[in-house]
Amino acid sequence: MSNTIAQNIENILSQITVLAQDADREPTSVQLLAVSKTKPISDVIQAYDAGQRHFGENYVQEGVEKVHALAHLSDLVWHFIGPIQSNKSKFIAECFDWCHSIDRLKIAQRLNNQRAVDQKPLQVCIQVNIDNEVTKAGITPEELPVIAAQIAQMPQLTLRGIMAIPKATSIITEQRDSFERLAHLYQALQTDFPDVDTLSMGMSGDIGPAIEAGSTMVRVGTGIFGQRTPSPKKD
């Protein structure tokens, strides 16, 4: 018999606690982001009932539908973590609390302009293509200081840190190498922008090396909700 969503969350939080302690870190310094893409609203509610509050969505239309359907749960925090198309930025600006996947200045400018002045600023991370993969979005490490400085001047955005999806590998030393390079970028960014506090890296298959290297937010989907089916929504 498979675990319930509540049991999965409990297991992952226990895993985070052990990994953080092994790295001489406070377990509370690592936030669990439940990636609910392609999963029904009923699964989000189960996770919510188990105490989970931060949820990540990759597809704009699907995410917006969930945000609206669960608007009565006022303490939910919605993170957009997928690729951003210019014609969809307005919906991200209007509906989400966080955006992790800013990979060009044009998108940051659109989000800033489309975020209403009566809303709290959108919390944002810059996506870094740490392993220079042609199939992945993200800026180069060399571009980070300039783009970060420009975003920091945008009144409707709050720069919180960086996000990355390193190359897929099961070799621990390669995972560590990518995460350590990200951690150095993050530390340099904090020097210039002391309010930066988020290093969004690590998923189900590499959560250990990510936390060891200093991740403050891990993104877990299948470990909580089970295997996914492809999303029917093309956005």
pLDDT in tens, 169-203: 888 898 899 999 999 999 999 999 999 999 999 99
Domain presence at residue 232: no
For residue 80, report the phi and psi dihedrals to the nearest 5 degrees: -95, 125
pLDDT at residue 136 tops 80: yes
Q: 191 φ, ψ to 5°? A: -65, -40
Measured distance CA(5)–CA(27) in Å, rounded: 21
Q: Is residue 230 part of a domain?
A: no
Which domain CATH number covers 73? Answer: 3.20.20.10
Question: In which domain, by residue range, is 215 found?
Answer: 5-225
CA 3 to chain CA centroid, Å, is 25
122 in a structural domain: yes
Dist. CA 150–CA 203, nearest whole Å: 29
Distance between CA atoms of 84 and 107, rounded to whole angstroms? 8
3-state DSSP of the chain: CCCCHHHHHHHHHHHHHHHHHHCCCCHHHCEEEEECCCCCHHHHHHHHHCCCCEEEECCHHHHHHHHHHCCCCCCCEEEECCCCCHHHHHHHHHHCCEEEEECCHHHHHHHHHHCCCCCCCEEEEEEECCCCCCCCCCECHHHHHHHHHHHCCCCCEEEEEEECCCCCCCCHHHHHHHHHHHHHHHHHHHHHCCCCCEEECCCCCCHHHHHHHCCCEEEECHHHHCCCCCCCCCC
Is residue 175 situated within a structural domain? yes
Domain membership of residue 190 (yes or no) is: yes
Would you place residue 19 in the very low, low, confident or very high pLDDT band (cuts 50, 70, 90)? very high
pLDDT mean over 102-116: 97
Work out how many domains the chain is built from and give that number.
Answer: 1
Output the pLDDT for position 213: 97
Residue 233 counted as domain residue: no
The token pair at 34 is: 């439940």
Look at residue 45 and tell me if it is in a domain.
Answer: yes
Whole-number mean pLDDT of the chain? Answer: 94
* pLDDT at residue 108 is higher than 60: yes
Per-residue pLDDT tens for 54-89? 999 999 999 999 999 999 999 999 999 999 999 999
Alpha-carbon dihedral 50, 55, 58, 59, rounded to 10 degrees:
80
Structure tokens at 57: 């969505």
Q: What would the pLDDT profile of 110-132 be if each residue is shown by its tens digit?
A: 999 999 999 999 999 999 998 88
pLDDT band of 235, cuts 50, 70, 90: low
Residue 51 within a domain: yes
